[in-house]
Chain A
């Protein structure tokens, strides 16, 4: 059974974060502090109100505890995300990074989380290195509330928390946004899965489901550049499965949700483009790099090595293959090629996981081939982080399908 109370809390929290961003976006000063106050009230209400979800409540308390008691020691977290937040805080302007001061801090990155961090600092009327980090704790807490509303079994909740920490350990609460993006990817993955394949779960709560889809997908795209890629791949994978494998029509209301959700990030990208700020990956040497690197097998080994043989992905892949071995064998041989619809419908969740993971992996692989930076440096500083969403989804699929739960089958 799905815990609707938690889902309502998630929707409200997501809307508060989005409204805070939109107020910054429209240069409106009022209400931001009120939104932050409401965020605190809702999280406190969740932790201390009713007796369910003991494990997730403890987990959220631990998150806030770690967040407040640790310094800023991560390069990305400090010099990209908190630095952007500091600039927004001191200038009270979301567009301040469009002056391209310090281009090494990636001024094209979306500013949802920096704007939230700046609002927290505004709320307390002070700036130090700790207060803006609360945004990380809040942003991690929301997916935890969301994911826990689908799980009843306590053991599964603990196992999931363990593996989530295991996969995201290197960036967890570092003020870097990769851990947040991984959790939001999982939320968007679930929402898009329900949108395409299991609408009946929310037949009685269509408005709630619409709000959930809109907020979660929008937030995923606004967290980091990868978010847009992830959402595009999630939609593409679901569409391919629905249209070409299951031979079913795609509901037209789905397009409306996607259009509304992708609009804010596209506007931000357009503003960056107009200001002459581009992603550092895109350069004139891209084609030269890819032709040069593609023919050298050592590059392929390096990319595979850094992307796969790391803490974030290796254990999730092993667990996923070991526990779903029988299903994987059947899906990959008979049904996929003979197109046995009945069997395929039963394992649509598995197909969706495999499609998304493979496509996303290939896209990142391709990006590493064309990067203008030194390949080894780029891989060693980022590969373990960008594969986290795949690890989280593989772990979630594996754990949720153990036992009687048929949510993702």
Chain B
């Protein structure tokens, strides 16, 4: 029977502890680059390759000015994005699938442009394109 003394046990469990910490760092996708976001007032995480947080923040400010409280998401966006991600990041603008405002982007290749248009009209007659993104 192998009997470990206290010192050996201590070393074994410190290694075990470090392995656990490593597993957690991996699972939580730890990255030093996140420290720089800590005190920034923005939706910093890129929720997808097309829309990034600063675009959403700008849209929220814009929507507040325009008095838009609820929006619907364009079907083309919902194909690419997780609806919960959109709902989370767009809050305090609420999601309502009957809203007359539809959030969409004009062209995927021109991916960081966002439009909103009147849902009652089939064509994008009224839309504002926000060019404050990358």
Chain A, Cβ-Cβ closest to B41: A126
Stretch at the interface among B21-29, B111-119, B126-134: B21-29
- Complex Cα gap A131–B40 (Å): 9
Is B62 part of the contact surface with A, judged by Cβ < 8 Å?
no
Residue-wise interface mask of A (155-181) relative to B, using a CB-CB cutoff of 8 A (1 in contact, 0 not): 100110110011001101110000000
- Chain A nearest CB: distance from B26 CB in Å? 10
| B94 neighbours in A (Cβ, 8 Å) | 101
Stretch at the interface among B31-39, B71-79, B100-108: B31-39
Chain A, Cβ-Cβ closest to B46: A71
| A78 neighbours in B (Cβ, 8 Å) | 84, 88
Chain B, Cβ-Cβ closest to A74: B28
- Complex Cα gap A162–B9 (Å): 13
| A304 neighbours in B (Cβ, 8 Å) | none
Task: Tell me if B32 and A169 are in contact (CB < 8 A).
Answer: no
- Complex Cα gap A83–B14 (Å): 36
Task: Tell me if A162 and B17 are in contact (CB < 8 A).
Answer: yes
- Complex Cα gap A169–B20 (Å): 8
Q: Which residues in chain B, 27-84, are within 8 Å of chain A measured between CB atoms?
A: 27-32, 34-35, 37-45, 84
The residue that A129 contacts in the complex, of B17, B25, B43, with Cβ under 8 A, is: B43
Interface residues on A, range: 35 or more
Residue-wise interface mask of A (381-395) relative to B, using a CB-CB cutoff of 8 A (1 in contact, 0 not): 000000000000000
- Complex Cα gap A71–B44 (Å): 9
- Complex Cα gap A159–B20 (Å): 12
- Chain B nearest CB: distance from A337 CB in Å? 34
| A158 neighbours in B (Cβ, 8 Å) | 10, 13-14, 17
| B38 neighbours in A (Cβ, 8 Å) | 68, 128, 130-131
Task: Tell me if B91 and A71 are in contact (CB < 8 A).
Answer: no
- Chain B nearest CB: distance from A322 CB in Å? 14
Supplied contacts A83-B88, A173-B24, 9 more A-B pairs, CB within 8 Å: A62-B21, A66-B21, A79-B88, A86-B91, A125-B41, A155-B6, A165-B24, A169-B23, A172-B27
